[in-house]
Chains A and B, each alone.
Chain A
């Protein structure tokens, strides 16, 4: 929101103003964030008030392009003649006339020149040409009592600065949505005085009949309504300064009756509405009540719903409460009486209607911010005063009538002795504290037992608790004046959440030890991708308002996301290792859920780079490392997976389950079958695993049971054993595991061989036995004995050495 510096400082007295940029910085530091300061230069040089004496249509004038010869009085007995194309130029109009030597907005210079056959030395000006604002609908219309020849500079300052505030920093401060609110802040920050607003005492007319105003009982409806009836009015132009200020903040001047409602909105942040007095008899604030349409004053048909809060004249809706007035009851050119509204509505109610109608007006924006009730009557009194100042011979035709269904007392806060300085952490004197609070119009009284009782001013709807006062004092005192001080607290050992530490260990392990690239996928499945993968996860949580219909289900596995990234990346690489360590989510009953971290990994390569079985063995190695370093000592085994109805790749033919000794399922490891590889192009191989980190319960810091190494040398023996090629290696290793001998310290798989020199249908597995005894060197006979024992064991299982 942009506000005028000239306007806000016009209420200040006894105050030295810093330069605009410096003043803006002070506001940023103490009140609200200024996003920019913009110089508004008004082009007043050689521009004077003129009164149009005659308007004659030019011969070249056409209906779509009017052109007039205008004669005008510019004071001092001088008149000018010029050409004017504005549609609103008329005899008797008081306007602004630029004479030769004037330099108007956009660099336009007024010189003596012939235009459409007439020698011209002057020009009638629009607001835009004067540099007042971006309005170019015609020449400016000014009050008739202005003396021709008066320089415009005497009526409106030549310079102004527009200060742009970040709206987010104002959301809690209803009072800062008008210039007067900022004037109050500046008075406190700059130690100046704030001028009270001049008002007209409407109370003197309390003997006049009251207005018929009712508000439907609804805690989320109308919060208050003040109205007054005014007569003997005319839709004359507003005084120049009012037009200039409105134009500066982007509000188009229309006529004084309408302009002053806008002026009060921008001055006090109190939105008002002026109904044509002929159209309103009695007012009722109530919901629309049904579905239908309503024509707003901008000539748009609005679709209303039952709950929209409205202003009714009897049974007929005349305005959308707090948003916009209706077409039929607005001020027309011939309006001479007003029913003036200054009301207050439940903030969220106004916001919802405005949002739904995509009609966020200056009015609705302010009501959303919780405007104070106290401004309702103040705005009426101020309006009438400004109306009179604007030359209107106002007749007050009713009592100022105010209905407030649920009056609220201003916040009264008791401060314990030393409360504020203890929260700030600085020794700020009581005197300074109280003077800051008073400068912001808080009432400060001495309470019992050294306490202070502080009453918030009525316009501060954001103040409720003692902490609010800490902010008021500290920001005006200046946050920069607070000396940083490290807290003095007891140091205790840091608590570690094991599941988080495990997640970070696994993450580092995958990236640094196993050369995986970490990815972040979205937390929801892409149903279209799942369809391509022929996957059908069943029970998932579901987003009610997803980005798109197929992105609604929360993921229960990381693999689909990893496969999507694999597919995307395969165009620029022939080998990939991707992992994600992140949350998966599961519904639990109707209203509950369960979520935990999983580790998902995908290995991708084109087959020309190696065989699938190598890739699978590699994946098993990574899985082993994760289980050893992540699950720390928990034993696991790989067993055929149970077939899944959700994931086609969880199938005993291509997938193993990672299971704990107690049957606990950690996850799965597997590869994609030929048919499942279709989306990944020709020659692709994909191996994957997914583990639940939540299933891991081993300690985060490893427990190692150290055994001193034997100080006598051991030795090893290699054996190559023939095994039927059609059977899995797992069966072979089961046989080897069964062989027990006191010399065995361990055994390992070395290699497998198929090819020349082997009997038909056989594979040769080389294994290595590590032999030894803790207490002595083993002898040749012992080794021979071992050899024979192993041969016998193999023979029992119908196996022979190669």
Chain B
């Protein structure tokens, strides 16, 4: 049989085959691996008898016919048309791997911010969760009589130590350990003796950061905060600075961002003000630098803090803070395993 005849015969049969069964039969007849007329046609041809030119020509025509036939059955599976089927494999079977793991939402936000800050040259030192009264209060210039020191706000340990009430507790430690100039962030767990409700936890996460160098200014602080927040929210954010008071800064500020939900026009999220209070910050109080054994006449710096727990809740729309330490797999498994 010649190649041209085979083609003619195929086209004729194809035109006759109306049902799926008939077409399948036809596919096996022409393209079947063992018996297929097209598949095995080359075996019936003595290629050695052909000239190089003829062989090339034959190859071209043969491939065209094969392609034609394959395309004709393309309505079936490509694998079947190619004659390379593994019928025992059902491609629609579900994944066999176990349920994927997850990072805690606070870890996710923390990892993201750590990435952002290390990119800007801030080292990461999460500090200690148990602390001395000095590091938690005296170091950050909190007066002896400050209400924060009292039992209703602070978990005191029986040996006079305490559970840190803020990541600010790490400021003086880091200053003493690394000296100036310094750029560092301290993410980590903090504790306050609070009653639990939807927005209050006795265990929560903060991220504190500071930058100490020669001639650090308020203008510097605004610029760095703006850049960082653009990184956090993946877009340009409008910020405003207004007075805020913290014993460890002077001057101290509250930094607000223009509400990302309404764009500043006012909505329930921003309590109709158009602004969301995001992070307290300020120039580091000279007493704190002194406590950190850094000369405030030579160096100045700024510090800022952000509630990681609060940021995670904002970012993922978590309505109740108690979910975070609740260990419920139905909550946690909603979060990705990789950042």
Known: A482-B218, A504-B114, A517-B102. A423 touches B300 (CB 8 A): yes
- Enumerate A422-438 residues with CB–CB distance to B below 8 Å: 422-426
Q: Is B67 an interface residue (CB 8 A)?
A: no
Q: Are B243 and A545 in contact, with the CB atoms below 8 A?
A: no
Considering the chains assembled together, what is the distance between the CA atoms of A484 and B239 in angstroms? 11
- Enumerate A547-573 residues with CB–CB distance to B below 8 Å: 547, 554, 561, 564-565, 568-569, 572-573
Q: What is the predominant secondary structure among interface residues of chain B facing chain A?
A: mixed
Q: Are B123 and A547 in contact, with the CB atoms below 8 A?
A: no
Considering the chains assembled together, what is the distance between the CA atoms of A590 and B312 in angstroms? 38
What B residues does A30 contact at CB under 8 A? 242-243
- Enumerate A394-441 residues with CB–CB distance to B below 8 Å: 422-426
Q: How far is the CB of A517 from chain B (nearest CB, A)?
A: 5
Q: Is A475 an interface residue (CB 8 A)?
A: yes
Q: Is B79 an interface residue (CB 8 A)?
A: no
- Enumerate B133-166 residues with CB–CB distance to A below 8 Å: 145, 147, 151, 155-161, 163
What B residues does A33 contact at CB under 8 A? 242, 244, 254
Known: A494-B121, A494-B123. A423 touches B218 (CB 8 A): yes
What A residues does B124 contact at CB under 8 A? 496-497, 500
What B residues does A520 contact at CB under 8 A? 104, 106, 203, 324-325, 327
What B residues does A547 contact at CB under 8 A? 193, 202
Contact mask for chain A residues 444-471; partner B; CB cutoff 8 A; 1 contact, 0 none? 0000000000000000000001011011
Considering the chains assembled together, what is the distance between the CA atoms of A480 and B253 in angstroms? 12
Q: Are B328 and A568 in contact, with the CB atoms below 8 A?
A: yes
Number of A residues, CB within 8 Å of B: 86
Q: Is B269 an interface residue (CB 8 A)?
A: no
What A residues does B39 contact at CB under 8 A? none
Closest B residue to A583 using CB positions = B129
Closest A residue to B126 using CB positions = A500
Which of B327, B333, B338 has its CB near the most chain A CB atoms (within 10 A)? B327
What B residues does A716 contact at CB under 8 A? none
What A residues does B213 contact at CB under 8 A? 487, 489
Q: Are A422 and B130 in contact, with the CB atoms below 8 A?
A: no
- Enumerate B94-146 residues with CB–CB distance to A below 8 Å: 97-104, 106-107, 111, 114, 118, 121-126, 128-130, 145
Q: Is B59 an interface residue (CB 8 A)?
A: no
- Enumerate B220-260 residues with CB–CB distance to A below 8 Å: 220, 222-224, 226-227, 240-245, 250-254
What A residues does B339 contact at CB under 8 A? 508
Q: Is A507 an interface residue (CB 8 A)?
A: yes
Considering the chains assembled together, what is the distance between the CA atoms of A593 and B164 in angstroms? 14
Q: Are B160 and A591 in contact, with the CB atoms below 8 A?
A: yes
What A residues does B104 contact at CB under 8 A? 518-520
Q: Are A484 and B337 in contact, with the CB atoms below 8 A?
A: no
Considering the chains assembled together, what is the distance between the CA atoms of A596 and B70 in angstroms? 65
Known: A479-B218, A547-B193, A568-B328. A470 touches B157 (CB 8 A): no
Q: How far is the CB of A695 from chain B (nearest CB, A)?
A: 18
Task: Report 19 cross-chain contacts, Cβ distance below 8 Å, ordered by A residue.
Answer: A31-B243, A168-B245, A348-B145, A425-B220, A486-B223, A487-B211, A510-B101, A515-B98, A517-B101, A519-B104, A520-B104, A520-B324, A541-B157, A543-B156, A554-B157, A565-B327, A568-B327, A575-B98, A590-B159
What B residues does A487 contact at CB under 8 A? 211, 213, 215-217, 220, 223-224
Q: Which 9 A-B pairs have the closest CB atoms?
A: A425-B217, A425-B219, A471-B251, A348-B145, A565-B327, A484-B223, A467-B250, A511-B337, A479-B241
Considering the chains assembled together, what is the distance between the CA atoms of A717 and B327 in angstroms? 48
What A residues does B128 contact at CB under 8 A? 595
- Enumerate A180-194 residues with CB–CB distance to B below 8 Å: none
Q: How far is the CB of A323 from chain B (nearest CB, A)?
A: 16
Q: Is B263 an interface residue (CB 8 A)?
A: no
Q: Are A465 and B325 in contact, with the CB atoms below 8 A?
A: no
Considering the chains assembled together, what is the distance between the CA atoms of A568 and B326 in angstroms? 9
Q: Is A781 an interface residue (CB 8 A)?
A: no
What A residues does B103 contact at CB under 8 A? 507-508, 511, 518
Contact mask for chain B residues 305-339; partner A; CB cutoff 8 A; 1 contact, 0 none? 00000000000000000001101111011000111
What B residues does A479 contact at CB under 8 A? 218, 222, 240-242, 253
Q: How far is the CB of B127 from chain A (nearest CB, A)?
A: 10
What A residues does B226 contact at CB under 8 A? 484
Q: Is A767 an interface residue (CB 8 A)?
A: no
Closest A residue to B188 using CB positions = A583
What A residues does B118 contact at CB under 8 A? 494
- Enumerate B285-301 residues with CB–CB distance to A below 8 Å: 285-286, 300
What A residues does B97 contact at CB under 8 A? 515
Closest A residue to B100 using CB positions = A515
Considering the chains assembled together, what is the distance between the CA atoms of A33 and B329 in angstroms? 40
Q: How far is the CB of B214 from chain A (nearest CB, A)?
A: 8
Considering the chains assembled together, what is the distance between the CA atoms of A492 and B123 in angstroms? 11
Q: Is A753 an interface residue (CB 8 A)?
A: no
Q: What is the predominant secondary structure among interface residues of chain A facing chain B?
A: mixed
Q: Are A582 and B240 in contact, with the CB atoms below 8 A?
A: no
What A residues does B145 contact at CB under 8 A? 347-348, 351
Q: Is A668 an interface residue (CB 8 A)?
A: no
What A residues does B251 contact at CB under 8 A? 467-468, 470-471, 474-475
Instruction: Select B220's contact among A485, A515, A516, A590, beta carbons within 8 Å.
Output: A485
Contact mask for chain A residues 317-328; partner B; CB cutoff 8 A; 1 contact, 0 none? 000000000000
Q: Are A471 and B243 in contact, with the CB atoms below 8 A?
A: yes
Q: Are A595 and B130 in contact, with the CB atoms below 8 A?
A: yes
Q: Is A521 an interface residue (CB 8 A)?
A: yes
Considering the chains assembled together, what is the distance between the CA atoms of A636 and B299 in angstroms? 47
What B residues does A494 contact at CB under 8 A? 118, 121-123
Instruction: Select A545's contact among B99, B151, B244, B328, beta carbons within 8 Å.
Output: B151
Q: Is B81 an interface residue (CB 8 A)?
A: no
Q: Are A569 and B223 in contact, with the CB atoms below 8 A?
A: no
Q: Is A58 an interface residue (CB 8 A)?
A: no
Q: Are A470 and B250 in contact, with the CB atoms below 8 A?
A: yes
Q: How far is the CB of A366 from chain B (nearest CB, A)?
A: 15
Q: Is B283 an interface residue (CB 8 A)?
A: yes
What B residues does A482 contact at CB under 8 A? 218-219, 222, 241
What B residues does A100 contact at CB under 8 A? none
Q: Is A542 an interface residue (CB 8 A)?
A: yes
What B residues does A491 contact at CB under 8 A? 121
Closest A residue to B147 using CB positions = A351
Q: Are B158 and A523 in contact, with the CB atoms below 8 A?
A: no
Q: Are B161 and A169 in contact, with the CB atoms below 8 A?
A: no
Q: Is A137 an interface residue (CB 8 A)?
A: no
Q: Is A235 an interface residue (CB 8 A)?
A: no
- Enumerate A623-651 residues with CB–CB distance to B below 8 Å: none
Considering the chains assembled together, what is the distance between the CA atoms of A593 and B223 in angstroms? 40
Q: Are B158 and A542 in contact, with the CB atoms below 8 A?
A: yes
Instruction: Select A485's contact among B107, B223, B241, B338, beta carbons within 8 Å.
Output: B223
Considering the chains assembled together, what is the distance between the CA atoms of A564 and B326 in angstroms? 10
What A residues does B27 contact at CB under 8 A? none
What A residues does B111 contact at CB under 8 A? 504, 507-508
What A residues does B283 contact at CB under 8 A? 423, 467, 470
Instruction: Select B222's contact among A422, A484, A593, beta carbons within 8 Å.
Output: A484
